[in-house]
Structure 1
């Protein structure tokens, strides 16, 4: 038989439990604001002002960069990559884009607290004018495109984060293997590999060759990092000058920005899963769109960079000449693009831009106006507003968030 005391104790416990259940949906922990992150700018040291890689801190709650300071003196670091997160310290890789066959790739060890860079290695790039470096998501292999030297090189990443000597080098002047040159003799005088983009599954390498109008697809040997013979893709539009590619988050669509004719193509991507000789293939989706306004002279513009929002709804591109940033929506049913916005970049010659880790801001490096501009991004509409901040830095060529 229940006593009054037992009833009071039982009722109190029930009431406390009921309050806890009632309060549970409301008592979620508040999300902490994103913390400031390190940002690195590669610059053009050939002009005698910049000295190498500059470091800043970006506050994503305010969209503010601190004044850049020199992080590492190195020759013309035009493109940067960072090793994936892991138990040890991370490494930053910079191509030294000098027009000399003895050009190099330099490795820097990153201090996670201060963000300082310490040179830990340097190896040959495999040719003159290296323009791109990429690292696979496992941190085992790296690749470099030598724009002037008409070659690409592959590397193993050693336990200390430095690069091995090149384990493979492919000369794109082998026209039987890589195709004939395009028709624009002033720009397509030689093969010009402009990017080495790794597929999301780390199995394939896509190389845009501005000189032959091809995208070359290679299988990456998982043990050695060496490359197979290429499969060549063309959009059947000679003189377009492919520069960079980006994979859509769905892994099925690949977008290519073409430098010479200022266009973006959409391609379909497929790859064999079970084969002794895996193949990755691009298929022409017969979709192309201009990056410049209809009334802007194509001869006065070169398209530069493209990036896709993490949600896959928007694509961004930059134009050197029109000096603009362009926002395209990505149609969910087929991946085709529709222009949403065209906005001045806030400077001159926007060679490279990138979204910050929150994807709420876009940072644009304007090579010929000695500044970096910050834009606020509306994650619903995709549109940009700004510049909300303009920071002085001489000849910015690349922006890397770490």
Structure 2
């Protein structure tokens, strides 16, 4: 029998249960993810002033208008130290064709601004690429016109040391003979310093010799521990190696060739039993063209390459044809099949990148002064858009932070 006293005792529990039940049907929607920060490196010889920052909404695919974050000369390539709870540092090559070219260091501030720390000589003319190892202790720079690769220690305050090592790639007895394209392959042109997924090897594409050099590295000291580099080639002289990217499985490597607008598939393996360890590439003899069959090869230079985080699709850009190209990656053998060719939404798409959610691609069109945003369908890899076009003088590089 439910007495008045018993009713009063049970009332709070019943009320709480009712509130709990109501909350099941009226749950608050989760807050949308905050916009992420993005930096743009630009060509200051064509009207821009340095590194710009913007905010990117990963739900809508929209950028805020870019604002100048740091004035610096021709920051054509950027790299960040890893996020480890402390301050983060950004490095920008100052891509000037002068032996006194530099690499500039900046501290990232909470509002996205970049506080200038200092600059050091890059070790050669025309620095074109900078990479930071996963510990945040070392940085590596490819000097395109200077025909050198230089390594640097990252100091506790984020500044770079003077070059720890400086390697001259014009030693053709060591780094291979020049390719047959006299206009483009007049000397060695190191174009990238890509670090392997295990942080133990450095891969350097030399556009001038059509070779990929592999060094073992010591991230703590920024020293290249391989006295004699291991050289690999696709066997097609005149192709002009530019950049490489690792597949998420760590066993496949894809290289984009600037001169003949092709992509090569390599197998990657490591022999850690040897001292120093060796990183080895084997060509699968599978390559694809990045341009349409009816587009004149001499009017195009292939530029950037990226693989989706799920490993199912590969993306590339063409300067001349002015397209982004999508390839499906065969899960068993790594071979590429064309999925889509789409206009970049501008002229000369030098660099593009996937956003942190892999739902969008941002493409910097250098000679039409804009950045275009494309939606990416994760199931098919296909791109739609541009969903937005943002004006910015001569974008050369895009970096999410």
TM-score between both structures, scaled by the size of structure 2 = 0.93
From 67, 78, 87, the equivalent of 2:65 is 67
CA 1:202/1:28 → structure 2, altered by over 3 Å: closer, same or farther?
Answer: farther
Aligned counterparts of 1:30 and 1:169: Cα–Cα separation in 2: 55
2:131 aligns to what?
134
**After the TM superposition, which residues 3-402 of structure 1 pair with which residues of structure 2 at under 5 Å, given as runs?**
32-47=31-46, 49-112=47-110, 114-227=111-224, 228-402=227-401
In the TM superposition, residue 171 of structure 1 has moved relative to its aligned partner by 0.3
Q: 1:222 to 1:135 in 2, by over 3 A?
A: closer
The CA distance in 2 between the partners of 1:34 and 1:293, in whole Å, is 39
- State the alpha-carbon separation in 2 of the partners of residues 223 and 54 from structure 1: 31
Which whole-Å deviations, capped at 9, do the CAs of 1:19-63 have from their partners, x for residues lacking one?
Answer: 9xx99x99999654321011111111112x111111111111111
Structure 2: gaps of 5 or more residues: 1-6
Summarize deviations over 1:173-211 as a string: whole Å, max 9, x none.
011110100000000000000000000010000000000
CA distance in 2, matches of 1:30, 1:281: 50
Structure 1 length normalisation: TM-score?
Answer: 0.93
* Residues 1:368 and 1:86: Cα distance change in structure 2 (over 3 Å): same
Q: Deviations over 1:204-234 (max 9, x none)?
A: 0000000000000000024321114310000
Cα gap change, 1:30 to 1:334, in 2 (>3 Å): farther
Superposed CA deviations along residues 86-139 of structure 1, whole A, max 9, x for unmatched, are 232111100000000000000010013x10001102111000000000001110
* CA drift at 1:273: 2.4
SS at match of 1:368: helix
Q: 3-state DSSP class of the match of 1:196?
A: strand
Q: Which moved more, 1:165-174 or 1:82-91?
A: 82-91
CA distance in 1, matches of 2:213, 2:70: 33
Name the CA distance, whole Å, in 1 between partners of 2:386 and 2:189: 33
Gaps of 5+ in 1: 1-7
Is the 2:133–2:219 contact (alpha carbons within 8 Å) kept by the matching residues of 1?
no
Task: Give the drift of 1:250.
Answer: 0.2
- Give me the whole-angstrom Cα distance separating, in 1, the residues matched to 2:30 and 2:264: 39
Quote the offset at 1:69 in angstroms. Answer: 1.2
CA distance in 1: counterparts of 2:327 and 2:205, whole angstroms? 22
Alpha-carbon separation, structure 2, partners of 1:124 and 1:59? 37
Structure 1 stretch 102-111 or stretch 60-69: which is displaced more?
60-69
Aligned partners of 1:28, 1:343: CA distance in 2, in Å?
42
Q: For this pair of structures, how many residues does the alignment match?
A: 397
Which is worse superposed, 30-39 or 138-147?
30-39
Distance in 2 (alpha carbons) for counterparts of 1:66 and 1:367: 19
* Paired residue secondary structure (2:223): coil
**SS at 1:194's partner residue?**
strand
SS in 2 for 1:46: helix
For residues 146-166 of structure 1, give each alpha carbon's deviation from its aligned partner in whole angstroms, at most 9, with x where no partner exists.
Answer: 000000000111111111111
Q: Tell me which residue corresponds to 2:4.
A: none
Shift of 1:286: 1.1
SS of 1:195 mapped into structure 2: strand
Q: Deviations over 1:285-343 (max 9, x none)?
A: 11000000011110100000011111111100000000000000111010101110000
Q: Distance in 1 between matches of 2:102 and 2:145?
A: 13
